[in-house]
Amino acid sequence: MALLHRYREGRFAAALRLAQQAHDGQCRKGTSTPYIAHPLAVAGLALHYGADDEVASATVLHDAVEDGGGRPMLQRIGWRIGARVAAIVDGCTDSYATPKLPWEQRKRAYLARLQSAPRDTKLVVACDKFDNLRATHDDLLVQGADALRKFGAPPGDLRWYYHACFRAVANAIPYALADRLRKELDAIEPWLA
């Protein structure tokens, strides 16, 4: 059993190292917070809600393809961390195009794929969206509506997108996480109207 435990720790540690490389020097949008804080928060949530080592590894890498290397990064994840992890990360990635497609076009395509995504991908997406909403809520409490200026879409579009994400994942994730996600969405609703 100890050997299996070390193996699992090894996979997550390797994923974390790769995520740190992919996000080196990046900060969360509109802040000075190192970006790696976000994947770590998403991993903590996913582990709390039952993620295994491969899903946890995908959580720390969920933005690495989009923000740190495109398809070559996805291949690297598959080779170094595993095919299942790469498949989950692929399901979390909304764009491979450079430059990125317009925001609404990109999000509609992502949502269409998310509808039929596997349960593991939906867990990672739910944890990601929860952490994003929590951070946005914190910023709104301090900065007011000015906090929304950092996004590439107007408040009404953000509202549509987060509600659509919630509907796509809610039935596939633990009830307690769906409830927390819904409450966080409700908390920022007044700023998105």
What tokens appear for 56 in the block? 């946890």
Q: Which helix (H) or strand (E) holds 92?
A: helix 83-92
What's the pLDDT score for residue 9? 60
Q: How many CB atoms lie within 10 A of CB 30?
A: 16
- CA 98/CA 74 separation, integer angstroms: 15
- 145 CB-contact burial (10 Å; exposed 0-12 / middle 13-18 / buried 19+): exposed
- For the segment 186-190, the average pLDDT, to the nearest whole number, is 97
What's the pLDDT score for residue 6? 41
Site of tokens 């996805």:
74
C-alpha distance from residue 10 to each of 19, 54, 94, 101, 179 (Å): 14, 11, 28, 36, 32
Instruction: Among 24-33, 120-129, 160-169, 176-185, name the one with the lowest average pLDDT.
Output: 24-33
How confident is the model over 129-150, as pLDDT tens digits? 999 999 999 999 999 999 999 8
What torsion do the CA atoms of 136, 138, 142, 147 make, to the nearest 10 degrees?
0
| Confidence band, pLDDT 50/70/90 cuts, at residue 2 | very low
Q: Which domains does the chain have, with CATH numbers?
A: 2-192 (1.10.3210.10)
Specify the higher pLDDT residue, 169 or 27: 169
C-alpha distance from residue 133 to each of 35, 44, 45, 69, 128 (Å): 15, 16, 13, 25, 9
